[in-house]
Amino acid sequence: MAVSRFAYVKSYELPDPILPNVYVVFRLDGHGFHRFSDIHWFAKPNDERALELMDRAARDVMDAYPDIVLGFGESDEFSFLLRRSCTLYSRRQSKILSTLTSHFTSCYVFHWPTYFPETPLAYPPSFDGRLVVYPTQTEVRDYFSWRQSDTHVNNLYNTVFWALVQQGGMSTTEAHEKLRGTVSSAKNEILFTEFGINYNKLPTRFRKGSTLVREEEVVAPLPTETMIREPSTNLNDDELPPAVPEVEADTSVQGLDPVGQPTESVPREEEGKPPKTGKKKSRKAKKVSVVKVLHCDIIGKEFWERREDILA
Amino acid sequence: MAVSRFAYVKSYELPDPILPNVYVVFRLDGHGFHRFSDIHWFAKPNDERALELMDRAARDVMDAYPDIVLGFGESDEFSFLLRRSCTLYSRRQSKILSTLTSHFTSCYVFHWPTYFPETPLAYPPSFDGRLVVYPTQTEVRDYFSWRQSDTHVNNLYNTVFWALVQQGGMSTTEAHEKLRGTVSSAKNEILFTEFGINYNKLPTRFRKGSTLVREEEVVAPLPTETMIREPSTNLNDDELPPAVPEVEADTSVQGLDPVGQPTESVPREEEGKPPKTGKKKSRKAKKVSVVKVLHCDIIGKEFWERREDILA
Amino acid sequence: MAVSRFAYVKSYELPDPILPNVYVVFRLDGHGFHRFSDIHWFAKPNDERALELMDRAARDVMDAYPDIVLGFGESDEFSFLLRRSCTLYSRRQSKILSTLTSHFTSCYVFHWPTYFPETPLAYPPSFDGRLVVYPTQTEVRDYFSWRQSDTHVNNLYNTVFWALVQQGGMSTTEAHEKLRGTVSSAKNEILFTEFGINYNKLPTRFRKGSTLVREEEVVAPLPTETMIREPSTNLNDDELPPAVPEVEADTSVQGLDPVGQPTESVPREEEGKPPKTGKKKSRKAKKVSVVKVLHCDIIGKEFWERREDILA
Amino acid sequence: MAVSRFAYVKSYELPDPILPNVYVVFRLDGHGFHRFSDIHWFAKPNDERALELMDRAARDVMDAYPDIVLGFGESDEFSFLLRRSCTLYSRRQSKILSTLTSHFTSCYVFHWPTYFPETPLAYPPSFDGRLVVYPTQTEVRDYFSWRQSDTHVNNLYNTVFWALVQQGGMSTTEAHEKLRGTVSSAKNEILFTEFGINYNKLPTRFRKGSTLVREEEVVAPLPTETMIREPSTNLNDDELPPAVPEVEADTSVQGLDPVGQPTESVPREEEGKPPKTGKKKSRKAKKVSVVKVLHCDIIGKEFWERREDILA
């Protein structure tokens, strides 16, 4: 039973550090989510509950891993940016990759009943992940631009496709056939003339994906211990928060009513985290860093100029 | 919005194939499970429900990934062996590592209520994983011997430790102090003389961990469609199945009563998998490969000689 | 001038260990040797001096690195096998790869004048190298079979090609044209009927390449200190040494005359190595391991069965 | 003899691309050069011929590989910077590492007789190499600062050490003992008061190492075909070329006399390169990029500001 006689096998675990001082992007994708979305009756072309669940899992991951400074999600995929000076797990690739993928997956399954109260999970969904390394700011911006332009292209296609099928009575084959080779303007035209849909008026969540950032937030003291769900008032493009965030913005820490008065609520950690022992709750307002879900353009420079710390 | 302008960032995704024709071990560990087990009132030194949940998640992973030919679990860790000719995901490391870790995690959270019906999950648990590559059979056997001897060493220590605390009234500090530097025989002696515990009579699950193998099984025709939970009658060391497995053995496919008569049951897939469409169920008995949970010695050669296909 | 302020850059040197317990093949190829062979008037299809120089550099590498247990060379390439338990440079890939490539290159240039006394080196030749890892004996044997069958295919082609050009008066274009798509038997036929060449009677060096092995050798005492070149009596296929090597075989340590009487010679180290200080030369016969150059079949099992230590 | 049956072994050659868009530093070191320098009677603390030979091999490497934009050498080591957009050998690590190491080694041995005409090479010297990757300009500058500050520290130590031994009559043990723990100022003091040596007046080559850069050069027409050695008029710190290089600077392409009149010479390629066929030599002056050897400070920003293209 001597452990030591066999312990030499541990020497086969080779080191896999990530190069220092490069940006690390962690991207995960749903595994077999075409089938998964069918089985669970996801609305087409976009299921808001499913997207919110993705955002929720992503927010939890960012709450747990402060080294993540940005998240971007669309459909069944999410990308996260780790700051270049990140020393998480000594930058060991396998450890970072497996832990983040596991954490996201766990949050997704854990929060499922909240977002799909009527639809029990039929089987356990999974995700695959990868780490990609970028040396410069340009590549990081281009990476996120790549994902957001992909969001746009996919969403425009899916919106027309499902309009043709659901409202136009076409078969899926016919709809694909009709759209083959069409450019953006043609798709917009079909949407507008045939179905009266102005693509640009669709929810920004669908058109822009979800961008998760950290912002400083003034947190009001906690008046009660009553357990309530926080409202999920995500921000649209035209509701972009000003450079100095105001208290009424949606946060992951606490629900606030539209005029900034604290509603009866508890911090998020009460819902899905172990109680921290011996930590006395302050009853004074304080500033905390919170994760916010935005649906805004991240291809232009404005987003990045307002948040220079992301690429710092 | 041109995807193509940004798509060059994809070229930074470097290839990471695993060398052909080597054994691949995938091991995962609970992340922060000391805390997790406290919060969820796991019994000490062993919580049978928690161990069965680990086994269940592992079995699901093996059901989903036929390339896995062996599993071994103890406490909050599990190891899986991929056969050397495995071509899963073209042997891409990140894809294999992240997908298996995600799948296991998802199954763990998904099945939690079945094994902890009285204890809601307080927060989403996560696991970290790694892949280790071994060129020869000797190393693979030694790897699993390493894990099982570790199981023994940890379990003996924990058994004495918690006897001293729970029955002997010691503080945890005093118990650690008393055990510092003691050899196995001394620990066995304390257990027997002070607490009347014969270590070798403790459940094999605790002493030997869980070994998951595939075996050919005759599956009886399905008499009904009623949804019931399969019984989980894991095998002890002294109940080892004979070389030619008999139908009464516990399987992951179907519940059978002790004399081999099919109980009212449905195949496992009904519980946690999407219904496969258009697949007509045969009503004749047939042979299928099923995953079995054993609690037996895997350090000696007998286990391996009876299952030569594992290392083939 | 503080070194320490800049020394952090050293942390970017990432570890690159080779997996333990796998065979490592190091192969190098001449860089731009088509041009190099033209400039230096290499005989076509085979230049014996050039091949002997390759063998000589390879032998020097094996003398310097005892972890290399086998070498095989053809044309401007050479492969070396490092035994699986090799711990050279802690199995660091870059260190092994660069050092072996450098050593071979240096020996090639150093010994050039010996093999090309009439042809000064016109410019410094270089080689590129790579390491390939193999987990099992089968792959290692197949690797060397791959190289030797490649030797055969190339040599047969080149032999016919240059016969057509040099003796048949064809242009190179015409010769390539004539050979396009022909099988081995057709090439043999051309050689025999048009040029009276029996391919199988050509020197084994050309047909089989050079295989370098280590063998135990009885070394006679050194009678003189006179500096002479060792004779290079490489072994042909039909002169294969018996399983127990006899003293008259060609070695890299010392020239011996055909009946085993020591010729006037000095050990190789005197030619191209620094004198080892304080090492008293024994004047009694002793057994030493020496590198031998063979030109024999290594695809069949006989070679390997007689030298089981190579793959041990 | 079927190559195809064995060719599967090629699939074990795994890809090893370097991340795009990072700087790559290639550094090589003499292997066992302590012994090598003793055997070949290198002058201590610095052997000018040996240093010039290193520079010459480095210059040849830069002539052959235009992707190298900077070189720095001291003692028996040399570092080279590949520009970040370099696509040499598709950025394959093994290919780049082995080829550059081989090329340098070959040049070193090839040019040995030119720099050591009285001292035949006793045995083939070798070098080991490594590639290190840096994401930003800061690290690249710090890398070269690290090497140059190391040059200074080593040279100061060696200068005092050998003064104590050669002029002071100390044993090497005594000299090491005396210097143990001394700071720079103390070493300077010993040099000056005991041996009358002003460290700052020593040749810049010794104090600053050799920095190889590319510069645009006006090349005068070739008047003759006579074969002569180029003069090696390396530049000292206080002779730094102005921002717009003048024609009298030392180049690797052609020897020029101090007032810029072409001496009888031929381009370097005639000495160590195959003649390029069919290339008619222009007899008009033209601008070419040439490699220059400098001995100047590269820690301060001036060097880098004048050569912004290096890090571009």
- The nearest alpha carbon in chain D to A22 belongs to D135
**Which structural domain range is residue C22 located in?**
17-217+289-311
Q: Which two tokens stand for residue A262?
A: 């604290």
Q: Residue B104: is its pLDDT beyond 60?
A: yes
Q: What per-residue confidence (pLDDT) applies to D2? A: 67
Q: Give the number of A-C residue pairs with CB atoms closer than 8 Å.
A: 16
- pLDDT band of residue A223 (cuts 50, 70, 90) is low
Rounded mean pLDDT, D287-305: 96
D19/B11 CB distance under 8 A: no
Domain presence at residue A284? no
Q: What per-residue confidence (pLDDT) applies to D1? A: 52
Instruction: Enumerate the residues of chain C whose CB falls inside 8 A of the CB of residue B136.
Output: 21, 135-136
- Residue C295 annotated as part of some ligand binding site: no
Distances (CA, A) of D10 to C76, C96, C146: 18, 20, 9
Q: What per-residue confidence (pLDDT) applies to A280? A: 52
Q: A269 φ, ψ to 5°?
A: -60, -25
% pLDDT > 90, chain A? 75
Q: What per-residue confidence (pLDDT) applies to B147? A: 98
Q: What is the 3-state secondary structure (H, E, C) of chain D?
A: CCHHHHHHHHHHCCCCECCCCCEEEEEEEEECHHHHHHHCCCCCCCCHHHHHHHHHHHHHHHHHCCCEEEEEEECCEEEEEECCCCCHHHHEHHHHHHHHHHHHHHHHHHHHHHHCCCCCCCCCCEEEEEEEEECCHHHHHHHHHHHHHHHHHHHHHHHHHHHHHHHCCCCHHHHHHHHCCCCHHHHHHHHHHHHCCCHHHCCHHHHHCEEEEEEEEEECCCCCCCCCCCCCCCECHHHCCCCCCCCCCCCCCCCECCCCCECCCCCCHHHHCCCCCCCCCCCCCEEEEEEEEECCCCCCHHHHHHCHHHCC
Q: What per-residue confidence (pLDDT) applies to C111? A: 98
Domain total of chain B: 1
Q: Residue B241: is its pLDDT beyond 70?
A: no
Q: Give the number of A-D residue pairs with CB atoms closer than 8 Å.
A: 22
Q: What per-residue confidence (pLDDT) applies to C4? A: 84
Instruction: Enumerate the residues of chain B whose CB falls inside 8 A of the CB of residue C136.
Output: 21, 135-136
The structure's pTM equals 0.85
B21/C133 CB distance under 8 A: no
Instruction: Enumerate the residues of chain D whose CB falls inside 8 A of the CB of residue A133.
Output: 19
What are the tens digits of pLDDT across the range B27-85?
Answer: 999 999 999 999 999 999 999 999 999 999 999 999 999 999 999 999 999 999 999 99
What are the tens digits of pLDDT across the range A16-57?
Answer: 999 999 999 999 999 999 999 999 999 999 999 999 999 999
Top pLDDT among B137 and A236 is at B137
C274/D101 CB distance under 8 A: no
- The nearest alpha carbon in chain C to D269 belongs to C123
Rounded mean pLDDT, A265-274: 42
Q: Which two tokens stand for residue D32?
A: 């066992």
Top pLDDT among A3 and C252 is at A3
Q: What per-residue confidence (pLDDT) applies to A2? A: 67
- pLDDT band of residue B270 (cuts 50, 70, 90) is very low
Instruction: Enumerate the residues of chain A whose CB falls inside 8 A of the CB of residue D22.
Output: 19, 22, 135
Q: What per-residue confidence (pLDDT) applies to D247? A: 28
Domain presence at residue C47? yes
Q: What per-residue confidence (pLDDT) applies to A281? A: 53
Instruction: Mark the binding-site residues of D, compressed into ranges.
Output: 29-34, 75-76
Rounded mean pLDDT, D43-67: 98
C19/B133 CB distance under 8 A: yes
Q: A33 φ, ψ to 5°?
A: -80, -10
Q: Residue D237: is its pLDDT beyond 90?
A: no
Q: Residue A267: is its pLDDT beyond 70?
A: no
Q: What per-residue confidence (pLDDT) applies to A220? A: 76
Rounded mean pLDDT, B282-290: 80
Domain presence at residue A148? yes
Nearest to D12 among B11, B14, B20 (CB): B20
Q: Per-residue pLDDT tens, chain C, 312 aa: give them.
A: 567 899 999 999 999 999 999 999 999 999 999 999 999 999 999 999 999 999 999 999 999 999 999 999 999 999 999 999 999 999 999 999 999 999 999 999 999 999 999 999 999 999 999 999 999 999 999 999 999 999 999 999 999 999 999 999 999 999 999 999 999 999 999 999 999 999 999 999 999 999 999 998 887 776 554 433 343 344 444 443 333 332 223 334 333 333 333 333 333 444 455 444 444 555 678 888 999 999 999 999 999 999 999 999
Top pLDDT among D1 and C257 is at D1
Nearest to B19 among D12, D17, D19 (CB): D12
Domain presence at residue B185? yes
Instruction: Enumerate the residues of chain B whose CB falls inside 8 A of the CB of residue A142.
Output: 6, 8-9
Lowest mean pLDDT among B176-190, C250-264, D267-281: C250-264
C135/B135 CB distance under 8 A: yes
Residues listed for chain C: 312
D19/A133 CB distance under 8 A: yes
Per-chain mean pLDDT for chain A:
85
Instruction: Enumerate the residues of chain A whose CB falls inside 8 A of the CB of residue B8.
Output: 142
D17/B17 CB distance under 8 A: no
Q: Residue D272: is its pLDDT beyond 90?
A: no
Q: Residue A154: is its pLDDT beyond 60?
A: yes
Asked if ipTM goes beyond 0.85, one says: no
**Rounded distance between C-alpha atoms, residue D112 and residue D114, angstroms:** 5
Q: Kindly report the number of other CB atoms within 10 A of residue D41's CB atom.
A: 11
Domain presence at residue B201? yes
Residues listed for chain B: 312
- pLDDT band of residue A218 (cuts 50, 70, 90) is confident
Q: What per-residue confidence (pLDDT) applies to D138? A: 97
Q: Residue D239: is its pLDDT beyond 50?
A: no
Q: Chains with 3 or more CB pairs closer than 8 angstroms to A?
A: B, C, D
Domain presence at residue D258? no
Domain presence at residue C242? no
- pLDDT band of residue B285 (cuts 50, 70, 90) is confident
Mutate to test the interface with A, among B104, B106, B145 (most CBs of A within 10 A): B106
What CATH number should be reported for the domain holding residue C32? 3.30.70.3000
Q: What per-residue confidence (pLDDT) applies to C157? A: 97
Q: Give the number of B-C residue pairs with CB atoms closer than 8 Å.
A: 22
- pLDDT band of residue D238 (cuts 50, 70, 90) is very low
What are the tens digits of pLDDT across the range D179-216?
Answer: 999 999 999 999 999 999 999 999 999 999 999 999 98
Domain presence at residue C270? no
A19/C14 CB distance under 8 A: yes
What are the tens digits of pLDDT across the range D90-132?
Answer: 999 999 999 999 999 999 999 999 999 999 999 999 999 999 9
Q: Residue D54: is its pLDDT beyond 80?
A: yes
B7/A105 CB distance under 8 A: no
Nearest to B94 among A110, A130, A145 (CB): A130
Top pLDDT among A177 and A275 is at A177
- The nearest alpha carbon in chain C to B139 belongs to C21
Nearest to B19 among D14, D17, D20 (CB): D14
**Rounded distance between C-alpha atoms, residue A152 and residue B41, angstroms:** 47
**Rounded distance between C-alpha atoms, residue D275 and residue D266, angstroms:** 12
Nearest to B19 among C21, C84, C133 (CB): C133
Q: Chains with 3 or more CB pairs closer than 8 angstroms to C?
A: A, B, D
User: For tokens 């293209």, what's the residue?
Assistant: D309
Q: What per-residue confidence (pLDDT) applies to C286? A: 84
Instruction: Enumerate the residues of chain B whose CB falls inside 8 A of the CB of residue D135.
Output: none
- Residue C30 annotated as part of some ligand binding site: yes
Segment (H or E) for A63: helix A48-64
b/e C156-178 (16+ beta carbons within 10 angstroms → b): bbebbbbbbbeebebeeeebeee
